[in-house]
A and B are shown apart, each in its own frame.
Chain A
Amino acid sequence: MKADILVIGAGAVGCAITRELTKYQLSVITVDKNSDVGGLASKSNSAIIHTGYDASPGTLESQLVVAANPLYEELARDLDVPFTKVGAILPAINDEQFALLPALKEKAFKNRVYDIDYLSREQILDMEPNITNEVRGGLYIPRESIIDPFLLVVGYAENAVKNGATFLLDTEVIGIDVRDGRVAGAATTRGFIEARWIINAAGLYCDRIASFVGKADYFVNPRKGQFFILDKTTKTKVDHIILPIPTKLTKGKLVSPTTHGNLLVGPTAEDGDDKTDASTNRAGLDSVMEDAKRLVPAIEFRDTITQFSGLRPNRNPEGLHIDVYDDLANYVNLSGVRSTGLTASAAIGRYVVNLMQEHGLEAQVNWQFDPIRTGIPAFHAMTPAEQEEIIKADSLYANVVCRCETITEGEIVRAIHSPIPAHSVDAVKRRVRAGMGRCQGGFCGPKVIEILARELGVAQDEIVKEGHDSPMLVGTVK
């Protein structure tokens, strides 16, 4: 196999870079060892598009996040991704936090986030009646927004495919061929891929990829974040992202609406060393509940529909780095892209391509580039007249498979045959939300298995949850 550019890693960053590269007349192959795009940090995060108000001023991370935020309104529309500019409130709930507000505002200004304002106690309680009565005042950041993180990644990737990129999933890079100060290509579990440029966007595993070219002057450990998702029907909700004010004692946990009307609460920040351990634990879950109740005391955790944990790539030493090297002409290394990476992705693509052009990449503009991706029409969001119309065109839309989220067979079948096909139960869930509701796939799970088997032409017991080591079933009955 041969490509102009090989991108390693199909998370938010890798997919955003891939899409950006398809704006040029370049052949791009993007590989990932996971079976779907957005496999790790990009799927388990707080789903927020940050402004960068609290980044360290002057850093590359600050520059990218601040630049990316304003791009999302257009990007989300182009890629058909649920996105809402809900705004964030930082409530100060004690004297110590109250005293920190001016410094936070000043930091936001240093990051060129100027639309940040003080809120009085009354204003906060008026905006968010469920916030604790202890609140003293706070800050308001209107451009902090929420997004569907799965669909953002799928959106980048599918649009990149539309514009000519190739994704090879279940494909792990096992070595990089370096010759005379240049990378020549990468050995993968699917054979050698020759490339004129290689971009390392492997996130949690970027240190391993960097070690293949002798550039691992850092290491990455997983920083675990545990979350809760609460049912749409839970009574105590918030309309804004409620961000905790970090103090010396605790970083606190945020409480946020999601683009689908749920409530998201978390995360913890636990440093570990096992990059495959995305398990939750009692202490972590308890701390999320405890901290969230400090901000929103009436929050009802019995309406929880799932808990999960995500692993952020924590670079040691810290900091977001996008490096090119004098002694390795055609290689870009991204490291330390942590939780803000989801936001930064929109700007990273452009940044990386600029960097490559400065370092000798010659590329003609792809005038055929089409920025638009059309997602799978969501039956539940339609008017009855629209519902009637789509059923006429595709009768599978009349069959509601997931009753909690009102997801039809038509949507599931389209997800299975989409440009980045959903071939597992979890991939279907991330595309169209079947199984994402309060019964967590209790009712629709067996039906999704049946539909996947039918559409893929395989037996039901060949269907996996996510990846080949996760069979849903072990055979047939006697």
Chain B
Amino acid sequence: MSLTRRNFIKGVIAGGAVSSTAYMFRGALPLLGQTPAPGSVERLITLVVNGQQRRVDVMRQETLAMTLRYKLGLTGTKLGCDRAECGACTVLVDDVPHYSCSVLTHTIRGRRITTIEGLEGAGGELHPIQRAVVDEQGFQCAFCLPGFVMAATGYLKTNPNPTREELAHGVSGNLCRCQDYDKILTALMRGAEYMRRT
């Protein structure tokens, strides 16, 4: 039996193969109707990132996470899954937590974006939640940390005095694989306390 990769793929798809592996077959399926061709048109837009106006050329399929990380050099925002599952890329858009992997940059022109790099005060002093995380040694590998901190920052704007249960729900869109969620929650609760005091 001889077959090319593409023919095999078509056969498998015709045979009702599993959709979860479809990503491997990207070329055989239309991807959101886009042509991911090189030289795809970029357009110049303005974003307000961490209080600064930033002019940036973006492609129409470009996500905010990629713009922040690769065009604006703000690598504090992490990509854990790029599919809106883990929350590592959480940033605030007009104070509301968003998965930046799932926001197309051109859709938020002119909006206020806050990343982990934008939390520190003008003099470099840590934000109360950052201070609390340092005080409680809240995270381990810390790859998920920026997402958790941004999610908590956004949530606490809506509920400044949460119970542990409420805050857990507030950051439940974020995954940690070191999995000491207990200490993460303790650190974020401490952050809420620090914020109420400031």
Q: Do A and B bind each other?
A: no
Residues of B within 8 A of A (CB): none
